[in-house]
Chain A
Amino acid sequence: MELNLATNFRRLAVTWMAAAVAAATILAAKDATAQDTFITVASTTSTEQSGLFKQLLPEFKKATGIEARVVALGTGQALDMGRRGDADVVFVHDKVAEEKFVADGFGVKRLEVMYNDFIVVGPKADPAGAKGKDILAALKKIEASKAPFASRADKSGTHAAELRYWKAAGVEKPQGAWYRETGSGMGPTLNTASAMNAYALTDRGTWLSFKNRGDLVILVEGDKALFNQYGVMLVNPAKHPHVKKEAGQKFVDWVVSPAGQAAIAAYKIDGEQLFFPNAKP
């Protein structure tokens, strides 16, 4: 009883190809029936976790009939998605990185949309005495007292901002056992800070919807330097011809339009507004 190796593996390969074709057909059909037009928007975890999109996107769909699908990553990853052409629109909050994105030809034009602000949260007891309205002074005190500080360290807009603040406060690069780099998003970093009773820099939106606060409270807010500017860009169709440029442009146009800006301002958590529209007319 010999095994005809070729025959049997050929039969196996035929089975596999049939299965693959069947699968592809089913999957393609499923997505086709799903909806008419959709665009992929690369944005940040902090924006999504604030809950803004849950309110904004249905209004966008009502106005234009287009479904915006948000993939939430860190700012760095979102911009990478745009570079690779895996998104049609990029909507993040790191002006320097965004301007480079456009300068490198990956984005068409950067438009300012809104801003929210950062705050510093920390243990109620405030061992470093950071409480106040001055971010740079607060960071200096935290570094001096070596109080535990949880950093995102994940190439995000928040992380980039955090590093800029440290530098401005005279700390070239924070180092030591007190400075914990979690390499994760805002939520997980806050979880870590809560568990460790550490200080952390966070955007107000994430903080307002964060439920695992433990002993942490807001210690530093209101410093003008803490404002966090959002920009939106259409991914350059010249670089990636498949980009849905009409639909994507509609999204860009809508968020800076009076209707979009009103929708942004209308979003509140516990009666507090999170995002402040500031698109240039």
Chain B
Amino acid sequence: MFEIFASLKLALALMAGGDAELAAIVALSIELSLAAAVLGSILGLPLGALVAIGRFPGRRAIIVCLNALLGLPSVVVGLVVYLMLSRAGPLGSWGLLFTPGAIVAAQTLLVVPIVAALSRQAVEDAWAEYEEQLRSLGVGTARAVRTLLWDTRFSLLTVALAGFGRAASEVGAVMIVGGNIDGVTRVMTTAIALETSKGDLPLALALGIVLILVVLAVNAAAYAIREWSAKRHG
């Protein structure tokens, strides 16, 4: 019990003190997770919407695969990305291994299935309401995808946030492809893992609290945006 209290105090001290190293790690974590969330959304949102609206052979198989990918073990993703980016692998000449770029790549691969599955659900629900009217107006599938993505934009913000949360909380894959290099690829989660394995539990817990607060702040902002939008747009 004392551990938690001591860690709380330490966490507040770290944050108040503006510890430069901590700030750098937090900034890097947010930057990379944000990049992965944005990239994952660019890839996953249209995919989810297309599967929701389109009718084509193999659609149900794709839905099953997308749902299965939700349970994709992240260490497997880390391993696969590592093998791809390793010098001995096909993309080795890109020199991305053990750089922030590799982390964004691995995180994006984890974010896309989540964003696709959740956006498919959101768009499907909206499509149930919109389909008849839009078809009546002569809207084709491509335009319908764009229109629905825009119309469900506030729900999709929540979806993108779920992607951000997933990216920000990843440890295993980030450790494997990033190497947890001090000052280069050390993010909050891998720093926590390092401090835990060093037995420095109060510091690890303090870092964990900071991470939770960061994710909370991002979610609170999104909630505020949704509330404002509901009032304005219904």
Contact B86 A84 (CB under 8 A): yes
**A15, A24, A30, A212: which contacts B46 (Cβ < 8 A)?**
A15
Chain B residues closer than 8 Å to A1, beta-carbon distance = 135, 140-141
- How many of chain B's residues touch chain A, expressed as a range? 35 or more
Q: Does B142 contact A (CB under 8 A)?
A: yes
Asked whether B56 is an interface residue with its Cβ less than 8 Å from the other chain, the reply is yes
Contact A27 B87, beta carbon cutoff 8 Å: no
Interface residues of B in 178-234 (CB under 8 A from A): 179-182, 184, 194, 196-202
Q: A211 with B198: in contact, given A23-B104, A84-B87 (CB under 8 Å)?
A: yes
Q: What is the minimal beta-carbon distance from B230 to any residue of chain A, in angstroms? A: 29
Size band of the A side of the interface? Answer: 35 or more
Contact A71 B181 (CB under 8 A): yes
Cross-interface CB contact of A86 among B50, B93, B98, B141, cutoff 8 Å: B98
Q: Using Cβ atoms and an 8 Å threshold, which residues of chain A touch B100? A: 27, 30-31
From known contacts A16-B43, A19-B42, A69-B184, infer whether A187 and B197 are also in contact, taking CB-CB under 8 Å: yes
**For window 238-257 of chain A, which residues contact chain B by CB distance below 8 Å?**
240, 242
Contact assessment for A85 and B87 in the assembled complex, using a CB-CB cutoff below 8 Å: yes
Complex: how many Å from CA A3 to CA B100? 40
Give chain A interface residues in 190-206, CB to chain B under 8 Å: 190-191, 194, 206
Contact: B99 with A31, CB < 8 Å?
yes
CB distance from A74 to the nearest CB of B (A): 12
Residue B141 contacts which of A3, A23, A71 (CB distance < 8 angstroms)? Answer: A3
Instruction: Check B73 for interface membership: any CB of A closer than 8 A.
Output: no
Contacts of B101 in A (CB 8 A): 24, 27-28, 30-31
Q: Would you call B46 and A27 a contact (CB within 8 A)?
A: no
A4 vs B56: C-alpha distance in the bound complex, in angstroms? 9
- Inter-subunit contact A8/B142 (CB<8 Å): yes
Give B residues with C-beta under 8 Å from A: 35, 39, 42-43, 46-47, 50, 54-57, 86-88, 92-93, 95-101, 104, 108, 135, 140-142, 145, 179-182, 184, 194, 196-202
- A19-B42, A49-B194, A186-B197 are known; give 8 further A-B pairs, CB within 8 A: A8-B50, A8-B54, A71-B180, A84-B86, A84-B87, A85-B88, A85-B92, A213-B199
A-B contact pairs, 27 of them (CB 8 A): A1-B140, A3-B55, A5-B57, A8-B142, A15-B43, A16-B43, A19-B39, A19-B42, A23-B35, A23-B108, A27-B100, A49-B194, A57-B182, A70-B182, A71-B181, A84-B87, A85-B87, A86-B87, A86-B97, A184-B197, A185-B197, A186-B197, A187-B197, A191-B196, A191-B197, A212-B200, A212-B201
